[in-house]
Amino acid sequence: MNWISKDKRRTTAHCPAAGVCGGCDLMEAGDAAGDLKRLMVEDLFGRQLGREMEWQWLEAPGEALRHRIQLHWSGKELGFHGRKSHRVIAVDACPAAARPISDAIPRFREALLARMLPTRAQRWELATGTPAGEIVAIAEDGRTWFLEPDGWKAREGSLLHDHGAFRLRHAPGGFYQVSPAWAAEAFGRVLGAWGLEGDTLFDLYGGVGFFSALLGPRFQKRILVEFEGPAVVWAERNLEALGLASQCIAADTAAWVPEGLGSSSDLILLDPPRAGLAPELCERLQTARAGRLVLVGCDGAAFCRDIKRLGPAWRLTRLAALDLFPQTHHVECLGLLEPSDR
């Protein structure tokens, strides 16, 4: 007997590749996708952090579209990997992507077929700035082509993200928020409500300066640590252009963090890769003297694990989950911790 049946709220996806494409796994949830994700997070937090812990949920608005996508070129087909496979599912558009990116897909395929771009099978990234406009294609080896009226042109350049209160630039292919405008709004709402301010902001895994710029003049100075050298160069340029006193360091965060980091007027903010914090870094943070610590995580399980690893010295006081990856099961987790002995 089949005990599994389709939920009545399931809808027909507005994307013809839904169900076979590996990119969006909640598109058939329709208007219920946000509620479904919230229930997933509620179960995760309840199991890992305790049912009594209150938390905030920010659901993505409809206009939160992706400003970068990864496409795969097989030598014959251009599209996304299929669900649970490496088979290329050919697409002509992507409704989850910003309109200029989606519209550029056919022209990108035409250029590949015409051998105007490298034709070996590989992964490509199509990206745009904020607001969405200029389109750049990035090959696996880092070379870039910008889409101009007469076709794709090989040249160097940068992408600009204008968030109103601050502007940031980065090299094409470098890490940046998938849905930049919504990410800036969501993080701004949560971190603003948490009243974060002080002397020094330790912006660890700081990228090109997103959180340093977002928190802006709430701190007197900031020390940004990032492993990727090119990102550090852009962080220096971005924060200098914003008039924010900063020291930007190219280093492995886990190796750089010293014993007893900070003082009571400082904030440590960590935005590690999906795998989360290294065990030795969690141990070293046990000795930190900063007044507060913010942990960001794009993998809920790793985030909860790290919250518990920090637990002996730090207690979780505020918790939030942000839907920064619409149409997927992924969320961004955000926790505010304070010293356990204060």
Whether 264 maps to a domain, the answer reads yes
Q: For residue 61, give both structure tokens.
A: 């608005």
pLDDT tens digits along 129-180: 999 999 999 999 999 999 999 999 999 999 999 999 999 999 999 999 999 9
Is the domain of 60 the same as that of 74? no
The confidence band for 21, taking pLDDT boundaries of 50, 70 and 90, is: confident
Is the domain of 87 the same as that of 218? no
* CA neighbor of 88 nearest in space, from 23, 177, 163: 23
Is the domain of 132 the same as that of 120? yes
Q: Helix axis angle, 33-49 relative to 300-310, nearest 10°?
A: 30
Whether 2 maps to a domain, the answer reads yes
Is the domain of 215 the same as that of 336? yes
Between CA 107 and CA 93 the distance in angstroms is 11
Q: For residue 62, give both structure tokens.
A: 């409809």
Contact (CB, 8 A) for 277 and 270 = yes
Q: How many domains does the chain have?
A: 2
Q: What is the dihedral of CA 21, 34, 304, 46, to 10 degrees?
A: -130
Domain with 37 in it: what CATH number?
3.40.50.150
Is the domain of 196 the same as that of 258? yes
* CA neighbor of 203 nearest in space, from 195, 212, 194: 212
Is the domain of 251 the same as that of 285? yes
Between CA 94 and CA 96 the distance in angstroms is 5
Is the domain of 218 the same as that of 230? yes
Residue 284 has pLDDT above 60, yes or no: yes
Is the domain of 211 the same as that of 341? yes
Is the domain of 191 the same as that of 309? yes
The confidence band for 5, taking pLDDT boundaries of 50, 70 and 90, is: confident
* CA neighbor of 44 nearest in space, from 340, 336, 337, 329: 329
Q: What is the dihedral of CA 267, 183, 204, 52, to 10 degrees?
A: 60
pLDDT tens digits along 259-281: 999 999 999 999 999 999 999 99
Is the domain of 76 the same as that of 223? no
Is the domain of 323 the same as that of 276? yes
**What is the model's pTM?**
0.94
Q: What is the dihedral of CA 142, 324, 201, 290, to 10 degrees?
A: -120
pLDDT score recorded for residue 2? 65
Is the domain of 146 the same as that of 200? no
* CA neighbor of 308 nearest in space, from 50, 33, 9: 50
Per-residue DSSP letter, 145: E
Residue with tokens 């937090």: 45
Name the residue range of residue 73's domain: 68-150
Whether 162 maps to a domain, the answer reads no
Average pLDDT, the chain: 94
Final residue before a domain boundary, out of 150, 165, 194: 150
Whether 115 maps to a domain, the answer reads yes
Whether 185 maps to a domain, the answer reads yes
* CA neighbor of 41 nearest in space, from 339, 220, 303, 317: 303
Q: Provide the residue type at 93 as one letter.
A: A
Whether 155 maps to a domain, the answer reads no
pLDDT score recorded for residue 194? 97
Between CA 93 and CA 229 the distance in angstroms is 34
pLDDT score recorded for residue 255? 96
Q: 87: buried, middle or exposed (CB in 10 Å: 19+, 13-18, 0-12)? A: middle
Whether 165 maps to a domain, the answer reads no
